[in-house]
């Protein structure tokens, strides 16, 4: 009778091994679910980036305002009838804060003055 109990216990252990540690077992399923969640987050971030890029492409295809805005901001371009003024920053104080007497920073797109 004692040998029968030992054999049944060993049989139960052998049957439990694949469920916990084997291919497709609980531990592997949990690891795959964790990888799936991480991939879903990555995909969502890439989808948001793609939507922004798609909006930029549509803006560039439909009108000249987006093209002009990019030319001014990224390339520093101005129209032929404009004069571009660039002001230098007077510097920061020693404590790292901006000097209140220093001129304010001006956006290059708004700094161009039409004649």
Per-residue pLDDT reduced to its tens digit, 63-99: 888 888 888 888 888 888 888 777 777 565 666 566 5
Question: How much of the chain exceeds pLDDT 70, in percent?
Answer: 77
Nearest to 79 by CA among 46, 107, 113: 113
Q: Where residue 60 falls among pLDDT bands split at 50, 70, 90?
A: confident
Distances (CA, A) of 18 to 10, 22, 31, 85: 14, 4, 16, 74
Nearest to 105 by CA among 115, 94, 91, 93: 91
Beta-strand pair 82-83/113-114: antiparallel
Tokens of 80: 């032929």
Does residue 25 register a pLDDT over 70? yes
Nearest to 73 by CA among 106, 27, 114, 38: 106
- In whole angstroms, what is the distance from residue 101 CA to residue 89 CA? 11
């Amino acid at each position: 009778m004692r040998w029968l109990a030992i054999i049944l216990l060993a049989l139960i252990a052998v049957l439990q091994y694949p469920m916990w540690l084997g291919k497709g077992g609980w531990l592997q399923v949990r690891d795959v679910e964790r990888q799936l969640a991480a991939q879903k987050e990555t995909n969502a971030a890439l989808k948001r980036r793609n939507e922004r890029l798609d909006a930029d492409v549509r803006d560039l295809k439909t009108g000249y305002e987006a093209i002009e805005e990019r030319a001014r901001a990224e390339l520093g371009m101005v129209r032929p009838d404009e004069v571009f003024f660039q002001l230098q920053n007077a510097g920061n104080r020693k404590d790292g804060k901006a000097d209140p007497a220093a001129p304010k920073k001006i956006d290059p797109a708004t700094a161009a003055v039409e004649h």
